[in-house]
Structure 1
Amino acid sequence: MSRQLPADCFSEIFEYFENDKVTLRSCLLVNRFWCELSVKILWRNIWSFIHRSDIQLKIFNTLISCLPNESKQLLSKNGIFIPTSSTWKSSLFNYASFCKVLSIHEIDQMIKRVLENHQFAITSPQSLDYNKYLLSQEILKMFMNEISSLKSLEYYSERSKNENIMFVHLSETKNCLKDLTKLKCSSDIYSEFFFQLSQICHNIQSLTIEFKDIISNGLIDLISLQNNLKNVTLKSEDKDGTEIIVSSLTKFSSSLTKLKIKGYYIPLSFIAMFTNLQELVLSLELSGFYDFNQLQYVNFPQLKVLKFLDEYPEVEVMIKFLEINGKNLNELYMHNNDKILNLIIAKFCPNLKSLFTIFMDDEIENLKLILNNCQYLEPIKIWCGDYYLNEKDFLEVFAKYSPKNFYKLEIFYAYKVSLEVPSDDLENFFLSWKSRIPQKPLSLIIIDKYSDFISLKVNDENMKIIKKYMKMGIIKKFKLNDLFLSRNLGIWSMD
């Protein structure tokens, strides 16, 4: 006789599928209990689904059906037709209460598209913006009333014409936003928004700011009133006003653990105060590193993740920085093609678990050196084609020299290539992988913007070999751009 798992065990299991939307949607169809568990997770952040117009309309209709009667009556009086209960299916769940993330922009855009496409009956003589404003206010009022504890709020003024949506003044807002931990906003949101938020929210841990021409006075107050800010992202294309925000962050010199900077004109020397940083991500043009040299002698003893998404500082500066901080790094992302830096990575970053760096076609020995010296590596991302590594050469090197815990190889084809890995060589690579001790299933990810030129794809025999070793369990996952083969599924599917 089978035993039924306790409800809390099911809940814990379903949490593991939070990022697997396909599986969660399948669980909706099993029974009422599974459906309820799945819906709660899927609706935490519905804005990740909303970019498809058909799903967008369904979400909109669901939200409208959840509106209280007084909101429906208000909209009807203003010429926005809400179907009566006899023609409108009642909601199975209180969907709005499940939301933990709100995006003012996505709400605004969703309503705008529905109204523009005449997917909702409107008899009002008022303008589109006015009708959009009314709907936005009533939907946000419902969210404020039904969500017991919102975790994340996104509000960018330039992405919405309704810049002065005053939902923060609603009486229900205080309870809804009291536990807010994540805020993404532009610097020019009207000051009253920040003033109201400052009275409610004191435990924001993650803050993203997009700098605009105006820095609202209330933004500085909001930052200063936080207790434990840990994660900050700054995006700027204008130097005006960035200094005052940077200055307001000094209060969090010991608590801040993650910092990301994207854009221009933000001075980097202030980073030195955050000695407990665990993650530093910089997405800058070369000119943006003009004062990074002031950081080359700073010790960040907790730094585990370092990413340069675009350009990187001068090689001499990076050498000194990695000499001091490289030994602590677990993850390094450097969009570089400098042979000296690759040697420095091998020398000063022995504890790396994840690496992206660029090897030129004559750097196969540098790749060996990194694989030998960085014995904790698990995934690595490399480029192939033209001036970069040859497939056949690096596959041989990976089979022979990759560390024992290595499990994921990601290949990016930077240019159109006509290279082909001979089937015998590919088979030998998988045979070598099979004989590794310990033997860990391999994930092979291939990304190519010139999809017709992927060498593994154009060789049908290679694809047969890949499927063969997936069945054997040697390959756990093979991904080709947006498509992947899963050993568990055994079919082509969407990632």
Structure 2
Amino acid sequence: MEKLNVDCLILIFNELKAEIRNKYLYSCLLVNREWSHLVVPILWANPEYLNNESKKKFCNTIVSCLPPSLKQLLFDNDIRLPSTIFSKSLTFNYISFFKYLHAKIINNIIEFVFEKEITKSIDFLEKRKFLEQEIYKLLISQCKNVRYLDWNTSLPLQSFPGAQTCFSKLCSIDVNLKHVNSNNLYELAQICRDIKMLSINNYSQDIPGLISLIDAQRDLQGVTFSSHNMKKKGNFKELGRAIARKSCTIKHLTLYNSIGVISHSFLTSLINLTYLMVSNNGGIYDETKEIVEFKKYLENSNFPNLCSIEMGNNLSCFKELAILIEKTKGEIEDVQVFCNFAENTGILVQAISNRCPNIQFLSTYIGINDLIYVETLLKNCKGLIRLYLDNADEIYDIGDKLLGILAKFSPESLTNIGISGNWKYTIDAFTNFLESYRGRKLTSFDINGYYGEPMVAITTEHINVIRKYYNEEIVESSNILDSYSY
């Protein structure tokens, strides 16, 4: 058998999808020494997702990698390493393979070392901070070309030895401004020029260092704003201007709980946006001045290349989104809109029917008069894969009509469907709808709002109908059946 060269093997290993990569790469470790040396760096590049058993093994390996000089330094500072660490030198310097520095990885290592000593005493907190500092120093000195940094510490990571090499190729960063100060960000801006994805957490004021970091980037493509202090408000004029200056490159925008905290005047400048996600969970419910202002900026924006929209709870923006969609080139593939007090729902569905022929995924609320738009949607959008239709806790007598429309007009591609648990459905309509999928299958059929408890519209008889079609392999899964024995 002809031997694959190293470059081909590396390409194959890296091209494996993330969700299956580790499963297969662990087997590849056992093929031979050459394969093992190729696979280990890939496995250790991003060791974020570990179960409890793997987490302990991982931490034990990392602590075993500590050089003798650092082990002695920790001992001199009254930090005792676990007896489980390996006494012999390891085959690889696993730390050097890290490409993703997650704060929780460092926290896991610290908890592993102090497993039997966790207290709130000042002495312990000082030892914990010292260990955190030394681990970061070790990682930064040995890791080259880190791709992702989760900066959730007050430590000046950018000034540690090796930071220039470690962070020069950084392309994604999460910054928690509760811990990271302006000077640290300014100094990082002198190192990093190629950050593509920037996540800003806990902002409370304009920070010059953050502005410098944004301005220094040559191809900033995505920005996430996240605030947990809903009472803190500010203008953030300089931050907004900095984002606007990057309007030619920014394509992804995510806003978590930022309405009422900052002004969103920069929205109208983001003409190349392809992805927009807004969530106001735990935020303002009433139609305040800040929400009215946000909706105004949204309505006046123009995102012709928009492909995906997600709008979270507490924002009734159906009309504004419809206007936004009407101004696009028709390339939208995904729309997810959730709101407990929905108005103008039909306008949104109508806009999607008219302007989104390639849409694949749609989740939205609809009202009692919107079924005509649902029918048009199914006729016009032949690539629809997933459709979830819900309502704002209103009990409508439209269930049978909706199921009839779905049975008659659903395109072949539509295999994931969710409907409201508040609407009324007769058993005949339920049966006829599921029967219409005989021969092509429903990958999933969910009842929105169902959490394992009785609902207005769904009875034991309805559940039995779903179970019948599940047993006949026409329905592959349903949240209704998850709480019951199949």
- What secondary structure, in the 3-state scheme, does the structure 2 residue paired with 1:117 have? coil
Match of 2:195 in 1: 204
Distance (whole Å) between structure 2 residues aligned to residue 192 and residue 322 of structure 1: 41
Match of 1:323 in 2: 326
Q: Any unmatched runs of 5+ in structure 1?
A: 157-162, 435-440, 485-491
Task: Please report how far the alpha carbon of residue 396 of structure 1 lies from its aligned counterpart in structure 2 after TM superposition.
Answer: 5.0
Distance (whole Å) between structure 2 residues aligned to residue 421 and residue 345 of structure 1: 30
Task: Please report how far the alpha carbon of residue 218 of structure 1 lies from its aligned counterpart in structure 2 after TM superposition.
Answer: 1.7
Task: Please report how far the alpha carbon of residue 206 of structure 1 lies from its aligned counterpart in structure 2 after TM superposition.
Answer: 0.9
Query: Does structure 1 residue 401 correspond to structure 2 residue 393?
Result: no
Distance (whole Å) between structure 2 residues aligned to residue 418 and residue 481 of structure 1: 15
Is contact 2:101–2:149 with CA below 8 Å preserved after alignment? yes
Distance (whole Å) between structure 1 residues aligned to residue 369 and residue 37 of structure 2: 56
Please point out which of 105, 108, 111 is paired with 1:110.
108
Please point out which of 221, 228, 237 is paired with 2:212.
221
Task: Please report how far the alpha carbon of residue 65 of structure 1 lies from its aligned counterpart in structure 2 after TM superposition.
Answer: 1.2
Is contact 1:280–1:305 with CA below 8 Å preserved after alignment? yes
Distance (whole Å) between structure 2 residues aligned to residue 272 and residue 246 of structure 1: 11
Task: Please report how far the alpha carbon of residue 62 of structure 1 lies from its aligned counterpart in structure 2 after TM superposition.
Answer: 1.8
Query: Does structure 1 residue 169 correspond to structure 2 residue 177?
Result: no
Task: Please report how far the alpha carbon of residue 294 of structure 1 lies from its aligned counterpart in structure 2 after TM superposition.
Answer: 4.1
Name the Cα RMSD after superposition: 4.0
Distance (whole Å) between structure 1 residues aligned to residue 147 and residue 271 of structure 2: 27
Q: Normalising by structure 1, what TM-score? A: 0.78
Is contact 1:14–1:38 with CA below 8 Å preserved after alignment? yes
Please point out which of 350, 368, 372 is paired with 1:343.
350
Residues 390 and 77 of structure 1, relative CA distance in 2, 3 Å threshold? farther
Q: Any unmatched runs of 5+ in structure 2?
A: none
Alignment of 1:90-489 (within 5 A): 90-104=89-103, 106-115=104-113, 117-118=115-116, 127-156=123-152, 163-188=153-178, 189-236=180-227, 237=230, 238-240=232-234, 242-263=236-257, 264-265=259-260, 266-284=262-280, 285=284, 286-287=287-288, 288-291=290-293, 292-312=295-315, 316-325=319-328, 327-336=330-339, 337=342, 338-360=345-367, 363-383=370-390, 387=395, 394=402, 396-404=404-412, 406-411=413-418, 425=432, 428-431=435-438, 433-434=439-440, 442-444=442-444, 446=446, 450-451=451-452, 459=463, 462-463=466-467, 465-466=469-470, 468-469=472-473, 478=477, 480=479
Residues 220 and 466 of structure 1, relative CA distance in 2, 3 Å threshold? same
The 10-residue stretch of structure 1 (164-173 or 419-428) with the greater mean CA deviation from structure 2: 419-428
Match of 1:488 in 2: none
Kindly provide the amino acid, as one letter, of the partner of residue 470 in structure 2: I
Is contact 2:398–2:424 with CA below 8 Å preserved after alignment? no
Deviations 1:219-255 (A, max 9, x none): 2221221111111111233322522211222321211
Residues 318 and 26 of structure 1, relative CA distance in 2, 3 Å threshold? closer
Deviations 1:97-122 (A, max 9, x none): 33221123x145324533553189x9
Q: Give identity over the alignment, percent.
A: 22
Distance (whole Å) between structure 2 residues aligned to residue 4 and residue 482 of structure 1: 49
Deviations 1:290-330 (A, max 9, x none): 22324434432222222212244555544433332373422
Deviations 1:117-150 (A, max 9, x none): 3189x9xx98222222232223222321332211
Is contact 2:299–2:323 with CA below 8 Å preserved after alignment? yes
Kindly provide the amino acid, as one letter, of the partner of residue 240 in structure 2: V
